[in-house]
């Protein structure tokens, strides 16, 4: 039971804003680590707060990836990517 990683349009826009090397690193992390695992929560941390609810975050170097993990459909939906200091604003 491996999870499928999908991307939103806003995540794709965020990747285009980043340096090519950083965006490749983020996509490789999602493809290699998250898509091949039985439990994607082992690499991330749950976000807290009323707006962030059930979302999770992954850290790749200085970048954060915000995802929504769905156990029913076995998907990890990548929502946003950005620098650690800017992603939560």
- How far apart CA 33 and CA 79 sit, in angstroms, is 17
| The two structure tokens encoding residue 64 | 């954060």
Low-confidence ranges of the chain (pLDDT < 70): 50-52
DSSP letter, residue 38: S
Q: According to the model, what pLDDT value does residue 51 have?
A: 67
Q: According to the model, what pLDDT value does residue 86 have?
A: 83
Question: pTM (2 decimals)?
Answer: 0.89
Q: According to the model, what pLDDT value does residue 53 have?
A: 72
Question: Is residue 88 assigned to a domain?
Answer: no
Q: According to the model, what pLDDT value does residue 84 have?
A: 87
Number of separate domains in the chain: 1
Neighbour count for residue 5 (Cβ, 10 Å): 19
Question: Is residue 33 assigned to a domain?
Answer: yes
63-80 pLDDT, tens digit each: 999 999 998 999 999 999
CATH code of residue 31 = 3.30.2310.20
């Amino acid at each position: 039971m491996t999870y499928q990683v999908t991307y939103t349009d806003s995540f794709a826009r965020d990747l285009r804003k980043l340096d090519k090397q950083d965006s490749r690193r983020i996509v490789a992390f999602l493809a290699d680590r998250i898509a091949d695992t039985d439990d994607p929560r082992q690499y991330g941390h749950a976000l807290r707060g009323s707006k962030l609810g059930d979302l999770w975050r992954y850290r790749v170097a200085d970048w954060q990836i915000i995802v929504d993990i769905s156990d029913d459909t076995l998907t990890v939906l990548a929502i946003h990517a950005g620098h650690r200091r800017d992603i939560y604003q």
